[in-house]
Each structure stands twice: as structure tokens, then as C-alpha cells.
Structure 1
Amino acid sequence: MEKMWYYILAYAFLTIAFENPCLAQMSLATDQTALLSLKQHIISDPSGLLSTNWTNSSSVCSWIGVSCSSRHHRVSALNLSYMNLSGTIPPQLGRLSFLVSLNLTSNHFSGALPHELSFLHRLKFITLRRNNFTGVVSPLFGQLPKLERLDFRNNSFTGSIPKSLSNLTNLQFLGISFNSLSGEIPKELGKLQNLQTLAIEFNHLSGAIPSEIFNMSKLVNIALTGNELNGSLPADI
């Protein structure tokens, strides 16, 4: 009887593994491979921090800018801010399935963001401020349910503000100022009842300011300057 249960459990495990290969293969080694892929996409590292420190001779959890969770022993935070790095973001970064915080502030990263970043369902903080990222702000970012801070200020993003960002019910900070976004401000953003800061100034946004924006009870800071907005503000603002 025990042997039968053993085979049943073994079969169930293998079935899950084959149907969900990503779940079966995810490990700290996967995180290391993802970060080494990022390293390969760095074309300029003036201080040599990554080139000398991110090597197979040491644990990924001891690498500069990398933090691991004590519970799962997986990469939980990546902070490469103010390192003067140049390069692009590879899709492999989406394999950091335990990542909670991604901070690339004040570097020279460029190119479009890979859609694989939408796989980071544990992500709470993503800060890409002061880089040279291009392309659109993908609607797929609306699939990150735990996101509390999205800061894409001072880049070269184009296109419109995705309506799907209204799905981020935990979002407290939305910063996409100083880009080249166009179109209207989605009225759906009014659903962000935990939002405290809405920074969308200095883009090419047009149309009226949706009244729904002013129904967000926790909103403290709103920046709309430097756009092509029209209409009037609510009398009871």
C-alpha cells in the first residue's frame, strides 16, 4: 500500500514538473544565470564592479547590489543605482521569480523593457528613474498585483499611459514624468485608491483631466505641469 502511494506521489510530482518546467527548474542557480545574462548585456561598467564581483567563484547572494531572502534563499532585491552602467535589460531578468525590488536609478540603460518583467509577480518596487529607456510602457505591468511603486521618470518612453495600470490596487507611487508619453490620462487611474503620488508632468499628454482622478482619497501629490491638457478642475478639488 505504501509503495502504491509512493508511485502516486512520484507520478504527481513528475506531472507538475513536466507541465510547469519553470517551477521545477527555478532555483538560486536560475537567479545566478539570469544575473549573469544581465552582466553580459552591460556594455560599460566604468568602476568594474560587476565585471570583478559578479563571478562564479562566489555566491550570488554576496554579489554587489544583490540581496537574498533569508526564508527562500533566493534573490529578492537588485539595486544597481548610481553605478554609471550602460547596456540593455535581457528577458532573462524575468526569471528572478522571488524579486521584490528592482532599482536601476541613474544609469545609462537603454532600449525597450522586455515583456518578461511582467513575470515578476512578487515585485513591489521598480525604479528605473534617470536612464535612457525607450519604447512603450507595457500594459503587462498591470499584471504585477503587489506593485507599490512604479517609477519610470526621466526616460524616453513613448506611447500612452496603459489603462491596465488601474489593476495595481496596491500602488502608492506612480511616476512617469519627463518622458514623451502622449494621449489622454486614463480615467481608469481613479481606481487606484491607495495611490499617494501621481507624477506625470512634462510629457505630451492632452485632453481633459479626468474627474475620477480627484476621487482618490489617499492622493497627496499630483504633478501635471508641462503637458497639453485642457478643460477645468473640479470646483470641490
Structure 2
Amino acid sequence: MGRSCNLLFVLVVFILLHTSLSSTVLNISTDEAVLLAYKSHISYFDPNNILTTHWSSSRLVCNWIGITCSSRHHRVSALDISNMQLYGTIPPYLENLSFLVSISIDNNSFHGEFPKELAYLQRLKLISVRRNNFTSAIPTFLSLLPNLRIVHLQSNQFFRGNPVFPF
């Protein structure tokens, strides 16, 4: 009886570990797919091809330049692609990086609007987009992010309210 209980215990632990590892792989795979899709929205004038070289399915996402993963959940928790001479937009599907805590894209040439879907990033604590080319209204959804503590919007062309009737 003791041996069969031990065997059952080992089997249950194996199943739990396998399930846990499988869900981690699926989750980080989702993060990888989102980031690769984001990469397709970016053009860059980088002679070293940083994203082309380092953002590739042949590498683990958590080892990509500008990506930090949480040790607890093994998910992308920070995106920092500041100062990389990048040009592009922020696509709405970044909302699928559900463990994202910070976004820093300072000193690039990003433009367009902030997608309202970023309001789904409930863990987000920091958004920093200084020195880019955003020309939209200040995103009102920022007030819906319960953990947001730091917002850097300087050196863009954001405006308040309707562009015809600002303020």
C-alpha cells in the first residue's frame, strides 16, 4: 500500500509539473508571437540591426534585447526599446502582454495614437514615451490603469481633448 501511494504521489506531482510547464510555454509563446508581430510594425535605421538580430524565434524571448521576464510567472514584464533609432506605431495587440509592468520606448520615432486596448494592461506601472513623434490626444484610458504610477509623455506633440477645441 505504501509503495502504491508513493507511486501515485509521484504521478500526481509529475502531472502537475507538466501542466505547469506546458502553460508557461504556451504563455511565453503568446508573448513571443505578440512581440514578433510588434516588430513587424517597426522600421529602424539601426546599422547594427538590433531587433532583426536579437528578436528572433531562434532565441528565448526572455533573452531578447529590451525584454525582461518575471521570474515568478515566466512572462514578459518589461519592454524597454529606448534609444534604438526605431520608427513605427504601437499596435493594439500589445494588450496581450498581460504581465507587462513597464513600457519604455523613449528617444525613438514612434508616432500615431496610443491604442485604447492598452487599458487592459492592469499590471502596468510605468509608461515612458519621451522624445517620440506622437501627435494624438493624451490617452484618457491611462486613468483606468489602477497600478500606473509613472507616465512620461514629454517631447511629443500630445494635446488635450479635441484638436479643434483643445483644453
TM range (shorter): 0.7 to 0.9
Residue pair 1:129, 1:155 contacting (<8 A) in 2 also:
yes
Task: Report which of the two has the higher share of helix.
Answer: 2
Amino acid in the other structure paired with 1:51: T
- Residue 56 of structure 2 is matched in structure 1 by 55
Helix, strand or coil: the match of 1:117? helix
Are the counterparts in 2 of residues 92 and 116 from structure 1 also a CA contact under 8 Å? yes
Specify every segment of 5 or more residues in structure 2 that has no aligned partner in the other structure, as ranges: 1-25
Are 1:104 and 2:105 matched, yes or no? yes
**What is the alpha-carbon distance in structure 1 between the residues aligned to residue 138 and residue 145 of structure 2?**
13
Q: Report Cα offsets for 1:42-77 as digits up to 9, x if no partner.
A: 122413100111011011000000000000000000
Aligned runs of 1:4-153 on 2, under 5 Å?
Answer: 27-46=27-46, 47-153=48-154
What is the aligned partner in structure 2 of residue 174 from structure 1?
Answer: none
What is the SS of the residue equivalent to 2:30?
helix
Identical positions, percent: 46
Q: What secondary structure sits across from 1:76 in the alignment?
A: strand
Amino acid at match of 1:43: S
| CA distance in structure 2 between the aligned counterparts of 1:128 and 1:138, rounded to whole angstroms | 12
CA distance in 1, matches of 2:69, 2:142: 23
For CA contacts below 8 A with separation 6 or more, give which structure has more relative contact order: 2
Kindly provide the amino acid, as one letter, of the partner of residue 42 in structure 1: I
Instruction: Give SS of 1:67's match.
Output: strand
CA distance, structure 1, for counterparts of residue 80 and residue 33 of structure 2? 17
Structure 2 distance, partners of 1:116, 1:134, is 18
TM-score by length of 2: 0.79
Count of aligned pairs: 139
The runs of 4+ residues in structure 1 deviating greater than 6 Å are none
- The alignment yields a C-alpha RMSD, in angstroms, of 1.7
Structure 1 residues without counterparts, runs of 5 or longer: 1-25, 162-180, 184-237
Higher alpha-carbon Rg:
1
Q: TM-score, structure 1 length as denominator?
A: 0.56
